[in-house]
A and B are shown apart, each in its own frame.
Chain A
């Protein structure tokens, strides 16, 4: 079971709590987690990554196990701790703006 932590505005949009638990098929990557997240919560499509290009939105970052993985390949394997559910995959909105 993959654990995902969403920023506050996306929790409100998807009507979920702080942590979402997802079944993810196959290799655990940013892309496979986001695919599963968007299937389960279609209202999140386009809010984290572009719907056409799948490019991460500029003010969104991905963290796991204390590391900023935002610039890693979306298809790179994530750490075992994420795949095992021991650690969550964080979607973080930039601390910016007004």
Chain B
């Protein structure tokens, strides 16, 4: 029987949760890299045993780890992230110029076709690529250098490149998102980039419809329709049907349209999930009720999913990289919380149960569907 492997990054280490296709009995492995912040782990789509992990600490900086056996053992690989050329400045919180400084790797995106190639989204925002399994990292400087970089500004969590989406139908096309610069697309494998933020409206910036400056929290796509994108912005849930050239709001009847995560059902490209959060200053669910919202219509019409989730006194957050879906016939949905819970629904969101409930604060959740 096929199974799943859930890769969980937390503030104090990584955990690997494994189950068969029923997703009822779980084996918990970890903590790996105990005491270190693990912003993200992700497996290669080409080789499920090849995993990459971003390991960091305020004391000892950034490390990168690689596994060839599905996370049983790990080896440190290259951790030198040097910006291409003189990095220049972006805007600081107060609008003054601030030099670009590497801080950490937020997100890893392994290639869809080559196990040795992996992309890294970093803070201060830039995208790097390794083609040798993570040993040597080189920036794709066309993103930071395309012209709007000096106007980018950090969000509260730092100026992070947190989302990388690879188009399975076009190896030259990638999407990335940066807090708080916005979304960008390349059509030539990362040589040149352009902002794709038309239609976004952010009342909290001087020009609400500016070309850049929007605090995009997450973008998601379904691999069968890579030109259709869904976005959880700081406020607003958005949708694009033209590869990001234009966006329209699909927040509809959500009780609040602030949040961090967004994801798409593995087999239903119009079924999407968000976790509404009360506000940008109150990072917890409305009314103390942890609710996932599902839309089966690609947005606008949303239903709360509550079975098995705490419906009182719940004040956790769900961070931007902390939701994932598996590809089993009955699609599994997963998310992790800052309270250390990782929840699973093996039936597309109708019913939920905790896999674990006492981990360190969860930063990221990925899932691998195993043969």
Report A's interface with B, CB cutoff 8 A: 7, 9-10, 12-13, 43, 45-48, 51-52, 57, 59-60, 93-94, 97
Contact = CB atoms under 8 A, between A and B. Distances in A.
A46 B58 CA distance: 12
Interface residues of B, number: 14
A10 to B, nearest CB: 7
Given A46-B79, A52-B82, A9 B58 contact: no
B339 interface: no
Interface string B11-42: 00000000000000000000000111000000
25 contacts: A9-B57, A9-B59, A9-B60, A43-B63, A43-B76, A45-B80, A46-B61, A46-B62, A46-B63, A47-B60, A47-B61, A47-B63, A48-B60, A51-B79, A51-B80, A51-B82, A52-B80, A57-B60, A57-B61, A59-B58, A59-B59, A60-B59, A60-B60, A93-B59, A97-B59
B60 A45 contact: no
B80 A93 contact: no
Give chain A's interface secondary structure class: loop
Contacts of B61: 46-47, 57
B86 to A, nearest CB: 13
Given A9-B57, A46-B61, A51-B80, 6 more contacts: A46-B79, A47-B60, A51-B79, A52-B80, A57-B59, A59-B59
Nearest to A47: B60
Nearest to A52: B82
A66 B82 CA distance: 35
Contacts of A52: 80, 82
Contacts of B36: 9
A52 B81 CA distance: 10
Contacts of A51: 79-80, 82
A35 B76 CA distance: 19
Contacts of A10: 60
Contacts of A13: 60, 63, 76
Interface centre among A10, A13, A48 (most CB of B within 10 A): A13
Nearest to B78: A45
Contacts of B60: 9-10, 13, 47-48, 57, 60, 93
Nearest to B11: A98
A51 to B, nearest CB: 5
B118 to A, nearest CB: 18
A60 B59 CA distance: 7
Those 9 A-B pairs whose CB atoms lie nearest each other, nearest first? A43-B76, A47-B60, A59-B59, A93-B59, A51-B80, A46-B79, A46-B61, A97-B58, A47-B61
A87 B271 CA distance: 65
Nearest to B76: A43
